[in-house]
Structure 1
Amino acid sequence: MLDIKMIRQNEDEVKERLATRGVKAEKIDELLAADKKRRELVVESETLRQQKNEVSEAIAQAKRNQQDASQQIARMKKVGQQIKELENNLKEAQTKVEYIASRLPNLPNPSIPVGPDESFNVELKKIGTPRKFDFTPKPHWEIGEKLGILDFARGAKAAGSRFVYYKGLGAKLERAVYNFMLDEHTKEGYTEILPPYIVNNASMYGTGQFPKFKEDVFQVEGQDMTLIPTAEVPLTNYYRDEVIPTEQLPVYFTALTPCFRSEAGSAGRDTRGLIRMHQFNKVEMVKYCKPENSYNELEKMTKNAGNIMEKLGLPYHIITLSTGDMGFSAAMTHDLEVWIPAQNMYREISSCSNCEDFQARRAHIQYRDKNGKLRYVHTLNGSGLAVGRTVAAILENYQNQDGTVTVPEVLRPYLHGLEVIK
């Protein structure tokens, strides 16, 4: 959440920067008007409470002197009723401020490309050269089904569209991929976490999924519980409502979890294969750090994700997302996109984002600076990587003309030396 004081002090700049994310200036005007009314009501309430204290003292003094206090008592009742009405008005004003503020996205970093959609994203660099096939490469779902390691038909029968059974070497390949990722990240200083897969509304609010994006998730009916859309949610909420000891910063977490997404609004997109599923595994990276270090930590996180790609031998490129393509909580995002031969294009496999203090304000995560003053940490998150998409990329980039798939060398120890999936 944005700091309301910062918005008051930098109204024009906030309007200009949020306009690049589709927020109309009128929405900021509405927020500031509600905030002004709230602050006026706070002052008025404090004045009345002071009057109430003075009247209360006058009543007590009159009783001690055995004097008539009926006028003071009548005034006390009137002031008490005014305070009650003010409190109701103040609650309404505060609710309006919170309603608007909680739905405003993060301020984009001034250095990122400005544009309404993905066509304005900027490529930073390419790593690896896409393989030139001497046959027409098949899509991963066709490869997996012919090898008997992916079963989309029975996944749909059991659960519906966008679900799959991994079978035999398919399940082992998936397990090999995420174990490799976890091992690499823990070598880089991340602490492995096995978090809850269901979280409460406060956790979803803390990372910015709620209240704006409830349609994108699966909620437990009648309960304050939601299946996690990403491990970012439980990992970022680990320190919710806490002050992290300064000497512990930066904190690095990594976790493998299933992720559950309704994919609202994606009808007709990626209807086949592993690219867009309702349930998928993902290895996540989350960092907490001091504000002055967060962009350096973003570059490190991006390299951590790229390290996985390079060791797997998968061609990819890194792009910086435009203001219109970036996630709600992010101030800057680097996407890694892997080469998918059958589509002849790069597809997203990781997003690494610096959320600055946006999530920390919502989740009340702080530390003490060198002067002992409480400050909000900066939080970062990134996929390290989306496992299903990685499997899809391996099947397509390592496919052979006879329908077999060569196993990347770094995964062979996790598959008991297996070199080819037949």
Structure 2
Amino acid sequence: MIDIKLVRDEPDRVRASQAARGEDPGVVDAILAADEQRRSALGEFESLRAEQKLVSKSVGAAMGAFQKARKSGADDADALEKAAHEARAHAATLSEKVKGLEGLADEAGTELDRLLRTVGNVIIDGVPVGGEDDYALLETVGTPRDFAAEGFEPLDHLALGERLGAIDMERGAKVGGARFYYLTGVGALLELALLNMAMAQATAAGFTPMITPTLARPEVMAGAGFIDAHDDEVYKLKDDELYLTGTSEVALAGYHADEIIDLSKGPKRYAGWSACYRREAGSHGKDTRGIIRVHQFHKVEMFSYCRPEDAEAEHQRLLAWEREMLAKIEVPYRIIDTAAGDLGGPAARKFDCEAWVPTQGRYRELTSTSNCTTYQARRLNTRERDPQGSGTRAVATLNGTLGTTRWLVAILENHQQADGSVRVPTALQPFLGREVLTPVD
């Protein structure tokens, strides 16, 4: 959730961010109006509440004077009784007004919170404006193989996987339906080797390894920013009010919810290994062959909590760790700066690493790393002691992928040989225990 102070102080910056994302900048004016209504109602409430306290004290004094006069038979007892009743009536009227103003303030606060949650994170300066095709190409690493010069036509990853006894889509569909699959034999071993290599790298870099829950409560999903505008893309267990997570980022974002954490010694970094589930709503007809776009997969995800002023430098570190993993699987790839309209709500900037897929003749995403600044932490109430003051402040959160099932596509296709075998990248060989994958026939 964006900071209301940012909207008040820099409304034009928030409007520009909304426009860059292709979203309605007019919501900024609605937020400011709701904020003003809430603050006005709160001001009236506090003023009337103070008056109510004074009147309540006067009621007690008036009733005491009346009771004393009645007992003594004083001539002014009737007048004092009338004054006491008038004071009680005034107090009752004030009480109703106070309740009404409190209700108005609560309603305005609820509307303000709702409006704030419709606004994506304010993008960082330099993020390209536009949609999916408006990214900025930052770097291309490696050169795609010339299979024609090598004298053979490359097979796609599914054909290779079937020959290797590594992928079984037919039985996956029989059990789970479309976009489900089995990784079998060397396919299962290859995925485990890849993810173990990712976890080994993360651990060596100081990340705390985590096996995370794959079910999350609605408030955690919402806090991580995954159901604001994309609820239809997430699997939900309605009877239990739980969601299946599409990434361990959700569980890792919720790990320190409602906590004050200590970042005085640097970022807290976690590497989460989990199964991931995605409905792939709206992807009908896209990537229906193979394991590029599926409903269930495994992933190792980096997650970092750091101070807001350190977030951009931390983002570059996560990207460097992704580059290190991509170098280990020896595939050509490129890095893009994702355009604002293609960012998820929590991300202020996202870098994608896309590997070359020979049979498609194009680059496909393997990793992404996002700087979510304080957006998720504000929702999840994750704070640190402010180094410049006595209070607390929201921390920054970032995430990045170190390995996932889709990487098998790039490994199989880029390292295939003319005889249908696949060379195992050198760095992966110790984790897999073999140098070459050979057809089972």
Q: Output the TM-score relative to the length of structure 2.
A: 0.92
Pairs within 5 Å for 1:28-43: 28-43=28-43
Instruction: Deviation per CA, 1:384-418: give whole Å up to 9, x if none.
Output: 12x21111111111112222212222222222235
The equivalent residue for 1:207 is 224
The equivalent residue for 2:119 is 104
Residue 56 (structure 1) aligned with residue 56 (structure 2): yes
Q: Secondary structure at the match of 2:341?
A: coil
Which residue identity does 2:192 align to in structure 1? R
Q: Secondary structure at the match of 1:276?
A: coil
In the TM superposition, structure 1's runs of 4+ consecutive aligned residues that sit over 4 Å from their partners are: none
Instruction: Report if the CA contact (8 A) 2:420-2:438 is conserved.
Output: no
Distance, in Å, in 2 between the alignment partners of 1:65 and 1:210 is: 61
Distance, in Å, in 2 between the alignment partners of 1:417 and 1:285 is: 27
Instruction: Report if the CA contact (8 A) 1:338-1:347 is conserved.
Output: yes
Pairs within 5 Å for 1:240-319: 240-319=257-336
Which residue identity does 1:384 align to in structure 2? L
Residue 153 (structure 1) aligned with residue 185 (structure 2): no
Distance, in Å, in 2 between the alignment partners of 1:212 and 1:89 is: 27
Q: Residues 318 and 179 from structure 1, CA distance in 2 versus in 1: closer, same or farther, beyond 3 angstroms?
A: same
**Aligned pair partner of 1:122 in 122, 136, 140:** 136
Which residue identity does 2:137 align to in structure 1? E
Instruction: Report if the CA contact (8 A) 1:407-1:421 is conserved.
Output: no
Residue 163 (structure 1) aligned with residue 180 (structure 2): yes
Larger radius of gyration: 2
Which residue identity does 2:99 align to in structure 1? K
The equivalent residue for 1:353 is 370
Instruction: Report if the CA contact (8 A) 1:125-1:318 is conserved.
Output: yes
Which residue identity does 1:98 align to in structure 2? D
CA-based RMSD? 1.4
Distance, in Å, in 1 between the alignment partners of 2:308 and 2:8 is: 22
Instruction: Report if the CA contact (8 A) 1:244-1:366 is conserved.
Output: yes
Distance, in Å, in 1 between the alignment partners of 2:318 and 2:98 is: 52
Instruction: Deviation per CA, 1:322-344: give whole Å up to 9, x if none.
Output: 11112211111111001111101
Q: Output the TM-score relative to the length of structure 1.
A: 0.96
Any gaps of 5 or more consecutive residues in structure 2?
67-79
Q: Which moved further from structure 2: 189-198 or 362-371?
A: 362-371
Residue 236 (structure 1) aligned with residue 253 (structure 2): yes
**Sequence identity of aligned pairs in percent?**
38
Distance, in Å, in 2 between the alignment partners of 1:420 and 1:209 is: 38
Instruction: Report if the CA contact (8 A) 1:241-1:364 is conserved.
Output: yes
Q: Which moved further from structure 2: 178-187 or 363-372?
A: 363-372
Any gaps of 5 or more consecutive residues in structure 1?
none
Distance, in Å, in 1 between the alignment partners of 2:240 and 2:106 is: 26
Instruction: State the number of aligned residues.
Output: 420
The equivalent residue for 1:380 is 398
Residue 248 of structure 1 deviates from its aligned partner by 4.2
Distance, in Å, in 2 between the alignment partners of 1:223 and 1:37 is: 37
The equivalent residue for 2:213 is 196
Residue 140 of structure 1 deviates from its aligned partner by 0.5
Q: Which moved further from structure 2: 167-176 or 66-75?
A: 66-75
Which residue identity does 1:209 align to in structure 2? F
Q: Which moved further from structure 2: 87-96 or 27-36?
A: 87-96
Instruction: Report if the CA contact (8 A) 1:314-1:397 is conserved.
Output: yes
Q: Secondary structure at the match of 1:154?
A: helix
Residue 25 of structure 1 deviates from its aligned partner by 2.7
Q: Secondary structure at the match of 2:211?
A: coil
Q: Secondary structure at the match of 2:21?
A: coil
Q: Secondary structure at the match of 2:397?
A: strand
